[in-house]
Amino acid sequence: MNRKHFLKQSLVALTMLGCVAASAVAQAQTTLTMSSWVPPTHFLSKDILQPWMAEVEKATEGRVTIKMLPKAVGSPPQHWELARKGVADITWGNFTYEPERFQMMWFAEMPMMGSNTEATSVALWRTYQKYLAQNEVAKGVVMLGVGMLGGGQFNHGSKAIVTPEDLAGQKVRMGGPIQKRILEDMGAVPVSAPATKAYELLEGGVIDASLHGLESVVNFRLDGKLKYHTIVPEGLYDATFFVVINEGKWNSLSAADQKAIMRVSGESLSRHWGQEFDKQMKSAEAKMRADGHTFNAPNPALQKMVTGIRSALLKEWYAKAPSFGVKDGQAVVKYYEDQYKSLTK
């Protein structure tokens, strides 16, 4: 082989290697964007989303990374639609923020659905996959995980809520139709506002109390205003959350990367979500007890009222379920409750 021919072959080989290397780099640079509406220091971002993003990168051996956008590309209620339209590849949010759209999720937000958030979140994931994933409203995105709050409670600024009479005429901040209905049926006055507005409303005397999970009382810095907490066993209400990816973007990923991502998503992500919320709930309660807050349980009359409202809400949801694509609402709730019980044994 003469020198000229050798050099020509070497150049061809180097060019081919360069193409392979460039292809590998391009593959390694698949970056998905994520929009989040809480600051990066919030536990939901710091302890749930960011560790999961790192797990995705590791599971795909660096082929897929997720970049958190510097600020949210829309308001919290827009985040499902932002993912569906591909404005951001991945978003997370609260189903409660679009209640009419997601009536199929209402059952999980009713009273006494569970106070172990790891179990409620995993039970909801399994229920969603079995009964709800093919619902018309879910088209356009792929569900990567779901989560729950772990039970919201009464939090009052100046008195304990123990009896039905304690709630009469009290102005209570709330969010979503389930919470509104609970308060109305109890004789309280619902005031609709996001949790981020609670401090302002309390400061101005617009509300007397606010519905929150205990972690939110601390994380929204309301513990200086809300000193009385009534703990309804298994929660007065709940909230449901999603993590979704645009369906087109998901389909553009290789089957191997989809499989790798789902190994650290789905039930795994939902479980991690619940574990972190459980930690936050315990930490918040411990802090407030140490700070001298008052904790109470509802008396039998108030507890009976909560149980009755739950039964009425479920009955109504069962009757309406076929209108929003749920054929057998009772089967959905039974499956969820069976899963929850199995996870808390």
Residues 178 and 143 in one domain: no
Q: What pLDDT shows up at residue 5?
A: 55
According to DSSP, residue 237 is labeled: B
Is residue 7 domain-resident? no
Domain hosting residue 308, numbered range: 153-237+289-343
**CATH number, domain with residue 293:** 3.40.190.170
| pTM score | 0.90
What SS3 class is residue 309?
A: helix
Contact yes or no for 224/207 (Cβ under 8 A): no
The H or E element containing residue 240 is: strand 240-246
Residues 138 and 275 in one domain: yes
Q: What pLDDT shows up at residue 19?
A: 45
Q: Which residue ranges in the chain fall short of pLDDT 70?
A: 1-28
> CB 42: neighbour CB atoms within 10 A?
14
Is residue 40 domain-resident? yes
The H or E element containing residue 41 is: none
73: exposed, middle or buried (Cβ count in 10 Å: 0-12, 13-18, 19+): middle
Q: What pLDDT shows up at residue 69?
A: 97
Q: What pLDDT shows up at residue 132?
A: 97
> CB 204: neighbour CB atoms within 10 A?
8
Q: Give the span between the Cα atoms of 88 and 79, in whole angstroms.
A: 9
Residues 200 and 325 in one domain: yes
Q: What pLDDT shows up at residue 196?
A: 83
Residues 257 and 137 in one domain: yes
Contact yes or no for 144/264 (Cβ under 8 A): no
Is residue 17 domain-resident? no
Q: What pLDDT shows up at residue 14?
A: 47
Residues 121 and 250 in one domain: yes
* Number of domains observed in the structure of the chain: 2
How is residue 130 written in tokens?
Answer: 């079995």
Q: What pLDDT shows up at residue 71?
A: 95
Residues 97 and 219 in one domain: no
